[in-house]
Chain A
């Protein structure tokens, strides 16, 4: 089987086409006469292909991907759960996919009701007072949430609060989002259990602190046991507490960020609420807030007034930070998340969280004999293996292990994150995997560790061998960037 697929540019043949438009039924015009010198002279070198060849090209490309639809994808912190097919059907209904975002409100009542109801359900699930659906992704949600925090402090004459505290175990987006919203990041250390060190935090809290950003359960899969003390300490110092919702999948129906003292949060609908990742998007990153921050939410918001759903813009919401995106967010993704929540209902959401935690603990115990675990006792929905000892003992790195996991037919765990665990392997099985799948994966990991001990790192460097390509030369890619197809001139 050929696994190196011609690019569409190589497949192109002059004169082929994959489209047909109706014959022009009005008088033709001359481009130059309409556009003058702005009329394009030289055509872009887009491929010229027949429909069948385009379909085969992309179908072949698709087969080079590993996906959740194909198998187990225990990528820590990414919540690669199964994405229900009915949600795809729903988002494609003409009454959603073929609705113009600016058409008269009276002709978009169904879409507005869906947005209104979804905001309400997300607020209820998380214990917040209001939710905006505008942010397009998790990091976009973080950015929006931090803007809300900035606006809130500014409105109180506290613009001097320029610092955001982030644990050393945090996702990379947290400090990056702080920077892009004009904050300075201060790191707080974790204690030996992997939780935020309360005393270290207290030392950092002064009147320059705008917020603490926390993921809970954190990236080690541990629930912060001092969560109330942490949020209270920040509040006492005049700061706000931000919840990174990347790990909400552990606690739906079990605990709510709003009850833990969080003031602002974002959710990743493409993690917790079953919408597909699409190879890196589109996602959706709704932001929830407590009542005090509600006036600052991006405009417009959807309201229910006088028996109908309506958009309320910035003119009626003077404190709003404004827009962070055009229109109302990734609507098609919101339809899928809405369908997911309606399918599961309250018990189903709680059960999803419980099973994600049961699966993680089951797998953690199975793998705990092979690797030291970064947590003590029970974990939540994910756990981190410390690959340091195996590396010291055998020379086999977590990158090598990841490639061997690919060879065994699974997607590897997240590697080298969180940064506080050496050679970290972060495993998140999710609730949508059967116990047989977990057993198979555990067996594969056991075989890999045995191989590391008996054969050493050399046996790994050629892996994977069964994939469309072997290990690519990433250094060459960065040193001599080829970022587009090079046409023969």
Chain B
């Protein structure tokens, strides 16, 4: 009846005849009369394909999109360049329309892609093991906190106020539901407050500290110093970070991080109103058996040829049920295939070049805005990447509205969540922004009149 259902009227008749039943309703005789639906669902009537496209084009057309608007907004979702080959590959039905690779003989494509992705995450993070993906950065960090609590057999999770507010929201939800204690540390100077951390660690009940670097403000934390403090207190350092930034920033595994997690939207996944992208999580071998989610491993087939399989499944829900390390089943596989195509195209050099362009363009934008006299840095002297917290002379709402009129999506308004940052404006400058766009931003934001 719909174009997606091949059965003709004649097919149906013959099939019903084969079954010896009068009509389709007879097949539903197992449903008690009282719960049978009397009326069709009250939803709009069926549309042909051209009508579906028209309807969706209309909805899409009602949104401003960042092909048309210059985007200086980040705060957890970023406008990075994606080579065309990425979407071309992940549009292939062989990657798109298959299930989780539980039958390895007919899933080597997906499995090898996962294996390669895991290697890339290990290389970028400097950690020994990566899983095959999590839902998003926020839930990956929350699962990392749960992992840390189980590994340390302690119940308290700390995080800094400079961790992305949405990540903190998800951490709160997960901690509540698993009866973990929570503690939030101030970050008034842009990085986690050391005295507050010392005080929080002194009780000895902390399982882990979640640190984000680059933080929500774009600031870079001193991970080595933090790791040392935490390890002295027999607690773990969980780093929330970004795989694109790790092409330029030191590998956190080298600096003492115990769990590295975060969001993968920046590497090959469209911004897409916040999803889908993926979360990643990487650990060192001692934590491997506590890792949530799927992991792909290398082995050989019965003829001794290299082969890939899902492995260490004794951690997972379909084997361990209530004793599993996590309940995750579907992850974000196609998005990590996109990431691995992205990394293969960019290579180490491309990723570094992206990082250097970001740093140069961020510096250029910020110095021009400072020169206008209408902005100053909220955290001068603290290193940052891609995002900078500025304090504006003018109210941020007014500023952003002027920018929008000029075809620019302005920065994130910090004051509602950080009252200490009066007229705080979080500006993101990616490699996609041109000098012309930055100059236009500066002209409008730093100018006096409309």
Contacts and interface: CB of A to CB of B under 8 A. Distances in A.
Contact of B64 (A64, A107, A125, A412): A107
B348 A44 contact: yes
A288 interface: no
B372 interface: no
A468 B16 CA distance: 39
Given A16-B347, A110-B60, A326-B166, A483 B118 contact: yes
Interface stretch (B152-160, B199-207, B226-234, B354-362): B354-362
Contacts of A101: 76-77, 271, 273-275
B195 interface: no
A9 B116 contact: yes
Contacts of B129: 483-484
Given A97-B272, A255-B37, A65 B104 contact: no
A335 interface: yes
A450 interface: no
A63 B106 CA distance: 9
Contacts of A225: 30, 32
A21 B350 contact: yes
Contact of B434 (A25, A64, A473): A25
A80 interface: yes
A62 B337 CA distance: 11
Contact of A462 (B65, B113, B302): B302
A346 B327 CA distance: 33
Interface in B358-408: 359-361, 363-364, 383-385, 400, 404
Contacts of A371: none
A253 interface: yes
B154 to A, nearest CB: 17
Contact of A5 (B63, B112, B357): B112
Given A100-B79, A324-B170, A483-B295, A182 B122 contact: no
13 contacts: A43-B348, A48-B349, A95-B57, A95-B59, A99-B271, A100-B271, A103-B69, A107-B64, A180-B178, A252-B41, A298-B173, A328-B274, A472-B104
Contact of B173 (A31, A39, A147): A147
B132 interface: yes
Interface in A202-249: 222-223, 225, 227-228
Interface string A323-362: 1111111111101001101111111111110110111011
Interface string B70-97: 0101011101010101011101111111
A342 B47 contact: yes
A97 B271 contact: yes
Contacts of A198: none
A9 B112 CA distance: 12
A40 B248 contact: yes
A37 B344 contact: no
B99 A432 contact: no
A237 B294 CA distance: 38
Contacts of A365: 18-19
Given A9-B119, A100-B77, A31 B31 contact: no
Given A137-B328, A406-B105, A228 B97 contact: no
A7 interface: yes
A269 B113 CA distance: 24
Contacts of A19: 83, 345-347, 350
Interface string A242-284: 0000000001111110011000000000100010111111110
A434 B67 contact: no
B109 A412 contact: no
B132 A136 contact: no
A457 to B, nearest CB: 15
Nearest to B46: A345
B212 to A, nearest CB: 13
A161 to B, nearest CB: 14
A386 interface: no
B36 A484 contact: no
A474 B299 contact: yes
A54 B97 CA distance: 21
Given A44-B124, A325-B135, A469 B93 contact: no
A326 B302 contact: no
B171 to A, nearest CB: 9
A345 to B, nearest CB: 3
Contact of A280 (B100, B103, B288): B100
A203 B4 CA distance: 46
Interface residues of A, number: 203
B92 A172 contact: no
Contact of A471 (B177, B301, B316, B404): B301
B327 A351 contact: no
A484 B115 contact: yes
Contacts of A223: 28, 30-31
Contacts of A478: 297, 311-314
A286 interface: no
Given A46-B351, A327-B166, A358-B24, A474 B311 contact: yes
A361 B27 contact: yes
Interface string B248-281: 1111000000000001000000111111101000
Contact of A323 (B87, B107, B170, B222): B170
Contacts of B223: 38
A176 B320 contact: yes
Contact of A277 (B99, B250, B300): B99
A83 to B, nearest CB: 5
A276 B37 CA distance: 28
Given A25-B435, A44-B124, 17 more contacts: A44-B123, A69-B97, A73-B98, A96-B56, A99-B66, A109-B63, A136-B332, A227-B32, A253-B41, A270-B330, A279-B110, A321-B173, A329-B275, A332-B276, A343-B52, A351-B5, A472-B308
Contacts of B361: 26
B204 to A, nearest CB: 24
Contact of A83 (B31, B97, B313): B97
A44 B352 CA distance: 10
B173 A282 contact: no
Contact of B135 (A41, A137, A175): A137
Given A86-B49, A412-B103, A95 B43 contact: no
Contacts of A357: 24, 27-28
Closest 3 CB pairs of A and B: A95-B60, A327-B274, A345-B46
A306 interface: no
B15 to A, nearest CB: 5
A111 B249 contact: no
Contact of B334 (A59, A172, A278, A482): A278
Given A147-B173, A351-B1, A470-B303, A277 B97 contact: yes
